[in-house]
A and B are shown apart, each in its own frame.
Chain A
Amino acid sequence: MVKSSSLRTILLSPRGGISAIVLLVVMICAVFAPLIAPYAYDIQSLRDANLNPSWKNWMGTDEFGRDLLSRMIYGARTSLSVALTAISISVAIGMSLGATAAYFGGAFDRLVTAAVDLTWSFPEILIALILIAIIGPGLNSTMIAISIAYLAQFTRLTRVQIMALKSETYVEATRSLGAGHAHIIFRHLLPNALTPVIVAGMLATGDAIILEATLGFFGLGAQPPTPSWGAMMSSGTAQIFIAPWIIIFPGLAIAITVIAINLFGDAVIDVLDIRRQLRDS
């Protein structure tokens, strides 16, 4: 795990520090949206549609007269919660699958490896679109689709880590002392394989935000009036010549958040020196 000295090194590095501040701001918006947002995100005022950015509406209004800043703040909540939840589910299931497959080997390992290789050969967006076509659009569906789309990545990474660790002397020693399989996997193997998986999860969160935005853009994610950055961009395309801010601000938010996540992830990788482990997976 990341030690406090390593954390300090990350935060003191220029890219780590700046990206951490950006992410903190986005997270504060997401968590405290009802307190921060100046207006309700869903109250329409059609006579105030497509207003320019002003002191009253810092980011202007959308085609239904809703305050864009308020929708951006609530949109952060949607985008982050979907991405974080989906990746957390994906990491949890992927780690369990990868560790079990690597530890027990045999037919189960071959089955998991084949499934992972098969999934790995399709782009995440395609997997997500197929899944949403089956289970229907909506936020929960988006979460499920993203978590399944990224499952292969974490299963594969964990499996590689456990394969290397399971023949270590301390594992043999624990087994000879009579420890059970679950004890060995969850107490001794997974904690030692955790760091690269967590960092990969962090980087995947950026991709998941883009995937959520893409699905939202196609109208498959959050359904109106719930704001999500992708869906806001989608509705902004129709107003691009009348009110370009409707598409510009959510686009900037997605870009800045994803860049911040990637920069922070890079800083973590450099400080922990785990680039090789990630590459080998």
Chain B
Amino acid sequence: MRYTAKAMLLSGSALLSAGLLSLAPSASAMAQEAIFVMPARDVGAPSYNPILGTRLNAATTLIFDRMVIQDADQSFHGQLATSWETSADGLTWTFKLRPNVKFHDGEPFNAATIVWWLPKFLGTENAFMTDAIDKVDVIDNLTVKFTMKNPDPNMLFNMASSFMGIPSPKSFDQLGDKFGVTGAVGTGPFKLESFVVGQQTVLVRNEAYNSASDLSVNQGPAKLKKITLREIAEDSTAFLELKTGGVDMLLSVPTDFLPRLSSEKGTKVVTLPGTEVYYVAINTSVEPFTDIKVREAMAFAINQKEILASLFGGVGEEAHTFLISGLAEAKVDPKLLIAYDPARSRKALDEAGWVMSSDGVRAKAGTRLQVKLWTQSGTEFKRITEVVQAQLKAVGIGTDITAFDAATITAQYRKKTEHQLAVRVYSWANADILDWFFAGKRAGHPNHSMWVNATSEALNEKAMKGSRTWDERVANFRAYHENLLSQFVFAPIYQPVQNFAYSQARITMPATVRGTRLQSQTIVDIEKK
């Protein structure tokens, strides 16, 4: 009886294995299929709608082309535009569009698309990028002219943003609110096959792709036939997947994994200049942070040097302003830099009337200086937050950490008064990020600092709309940046470099990564071995 049962079990297993093997794709079919892991910060991005979305993930530029794209040397290159020019007064821009481009749904891309597309930004969170454009005129089927309300020296940067991916008008209007969720149609090198928020996105090659920029070696369809982009919140899990062959590439690798990854045979790590800044948003609308002295104390209690050295092995940079250090607008008056100064922090708390108690947490009129410190799930967030907690405790600020899932924390911020401090990160290489995070009209989210101040608003307005030349824009944004630094509406922490890692046994990368990040212009050149 036992023998019979065992035999049945073995036969069943054999049949099951045979069945599974027959279902498995053949080696040749797998040849140009790759699995990437999205950066942890992209996990939970809810949509691929570039017009309405405020969080887009790394796959967006693979689905949607932009008018222009930016290289690592900050130069701009045409993608859907082949050339452009601006008038001497900066009040008109003329773009020549690439001919014979079709959307994934077969619709043509032409000047009419631009006339339909730009007004769609009106009233959206992303409207600031097109605010300066007064109207769009069709010169001919492949030429458009923008008439500006005011000169916008940031025009090309805006046009290169992933939020400026151009969707198919027909699909966009047909899908309505579901665009970006159930379907996303652009002209990019890959078509969206499926998307499950928080899990994965499957892209298939756009065989008709013909709008690669001159940054790509490959000017035709992408070499990879299919890309699965998985969302894995835990960096260690993603690392194990790469190590065990479950995935071919990690689009982002935490700095503390670098030594381990570098010693892995067959794994190549590539480092690019950083575009991210970790910081603590300080909710200026709730006690005790309505008091600038408490904000000052909080900001100067963060030991950036210790965090860089101990948590990140010295890889990256200390952050002392809100902007990445490579930007000219980050070169502020040195007196305004926020750098660890525990004596100044303690003095500010003393001046604000917070007296140290026996338990190491300050108190004032019977109220303890115990505040909420929010963070997101993910290894780097948790580690930075725990160190920040200890550093704040050292000056007498007690904190209660709450870790939220990346997908739910935005809803919590929108409540406006629930949070007090929040460890955050952004990735952006332009000073207009200041407008995004500190403009009064965005209080709650993304203005998590809830900063609404007349002087700041005026400086922001001048920087966003009153700059005629690039130099003027730099000066105006620097003034706005200095104003924000002087008000201690955030505490800068750390500026990481960008790292990605791939399996050399399975992936062939182009010789040079083009652009400010690993995006479509490089990914179309990636091959599976």
What is the interface of chain A, defined by CB distance below 8 A to chain B? 42-44, 46-47, 49, 63-65, 136-137, 219, 223-225, 235, 237-238, 240-242
Contacts and interface: CB of A to CB of B under 8 A. Distances in A.
Contacts of A235: 382-383
A183 B386 CA distance: 53
B427 interface: no
Contacts of B206: none
A47 B305 CA distance: 12
A44 B387 contact: yes
Contact of B235 (A47, A223, A238): A238
Contacts of A223: 400-403
A55 to B, nearest CB: 23
Given A225-B386, A238-B379, 16 more contacts: A43-B390, A46-B306, A46-B311, A46-B387, A64-B387, A136-B402, A137-B402, A219-B403, A223-B400, A224-B382, A225-B389, A235-B383, A237-B237, A238-B236, A238-B256, A242-B260
A157 B447 CA distance: 54
Nearest to A236: B236
24 contacts: A43-B390, A44-B386, A44-B387, A44-B390, A46-B309, A46-B311, A64-B387, A65-B310, A223-B400, A223-B401, A223-B402, A223-B403, A224-B382, A224-B386, A224-B389, A224-B401, A225-B386, A235-B382, A237-B234, A237-B236, A238-B235, A238-B236, A240-B236, A242-B260
B382 A64 contact: no
Interface SS, A side: loop
Interface SS, B side: helix
Contacts of A238: 234-236, 256, 379, 383
Contacts of A136: 402
A64 B260 contact: no
B385 A224 contact: yes
B316 to A, nearest CB: 15
B496 to A, nearest CB: 16
B402 A225 contact: no
Nearest to B310: A46
B377 interface: yes
Nearest to B377: A219
Contact of A63 (B260, B309, B383, B400): B383
Contacts of B383: 63-64, 235, 238
A225 B390 contact: yes
B361 to A, nearest CB: 12
A223 B137 CA distance: 57
B400 A64 contact: no
Contacts of A219: 377, 382, 403
Nearest to A44: B390
A137 B387 contact: no
A144 to B, nearest CB: 17
B390 A64 contact: yes
Contacts of A240: 236
Contacts of A241: 260
A224 B383 CA distance: 10
Contacts of B402: 136-137, 223
A238 B379 CA distance: 7
B408 to A, nearest CB: 9
Interface string B381-399: 0110111011001000000
B41 to A, nearest CB: 16
A219 B87 CA distance: 56
Contacts of B237: 237
A223 B256 CA distance: 23
A213 B405 CA distance: 19
A63 B390 CA distance: 13
Given A46-B306, A49-B310, A219-B377, A64 B386 contact: yes
B124 to A, nearest CB: 31
B243 to A, nearest CB: 9
Contacts of A224: 382, 385-386, 389, 401
Contacts of A137: 402-403
